[in-house]
Amino acid sequence: MRIRDLRADDPAEHDAAVALWHAAGLTRPWNDPRADLEQALAGPSSSVLVAVDDGGGLLGAVMLGHDGHRGWMYYLAAASRGRGIGRALVAAAEERLAPHVSTVQLMVRADNGAAAAFYDRLGYAPSDATVWQRVIHDDPARSASATLLG
């Protein structure tokens, strides 16, 4: 297994990552994982890392980025469980983020006890802070153009 950046110029790899995220149950009707992936690849402080086998087949993926204060991980998924793929992706994400931030964080959905157990095993713990949010618009095209404008 090898961890590397998802190839921005390989549409088949984009498709494979999005398919993996769907199969792993990470997507919701109100999210667009393909748009998220493209924005992460376009951003100066965000990336998508993949785990691949010797033949280049996708074994796992994670999206990551930092905002100057904290590092974030999203969309962590392993194509097959219990083989160390998730652990390797988190380690690679932490290594990528370490020059920029001292803390890495993520959100775990309340019903995803398996993910909570996985992160606990890796030394992560729930924060005292709660995540607050507000939907500021529901126009995907507007988010995409905002990215293009920087």
Ligand X SMILES: CC(C)(COP(=O)(O)OP(=O)(O)OC[C@H]1O[C@@H](n2cnc3c(N)ncnc32)[C@H](O)[C@@H]1OP(=O)(O)O)[C@@H](O)C(=O)NCCC(=O)NCCS
Residues in contact with ligand X, counted by CB under 6 A, come to a total of 20
Q: Is 81 in the site for ligand X (CB under 6 A)?
A: yes
Q: Is 8 in the site for ligand X (CB under 6 A)?
A: no
Nearest approach, Cβ of 141 to ligand X (angstroms)? 27
Tell me the window of 9-17, 107-115, 127-135, 136-144 that interacts with ligand X (CB under 6 A).
107-115
Alpha helices in the chain (DSSP H): 11-23, 33-42, 85-97, 113-121, 140-149
CA distance 88 to 132: 30
Alpha-carbon separation of residue 95 from 44, 76, 103 (angstroms): 17, 15, 11
Q: Is 16 in the site for ligand X (CB under 6 A)?
A: no
Q: Is 118 in the site for ligand X (CB under 6 A)?
A: yes
Q: Is 83 in the site for ligand X (CB under 6 A)?
A: yes
Kindly tell me which of 63 and 101 has the beta carbon lying closer to ligand X.
63
Q: Is 23 in the site for ligand X (CB under 6 A)?
A: no
The contact set with ligand X (CB under 6 A) reads 24, 26, 76-78, 81-87, 106, 108, 112, 114-115, 117-118, 121
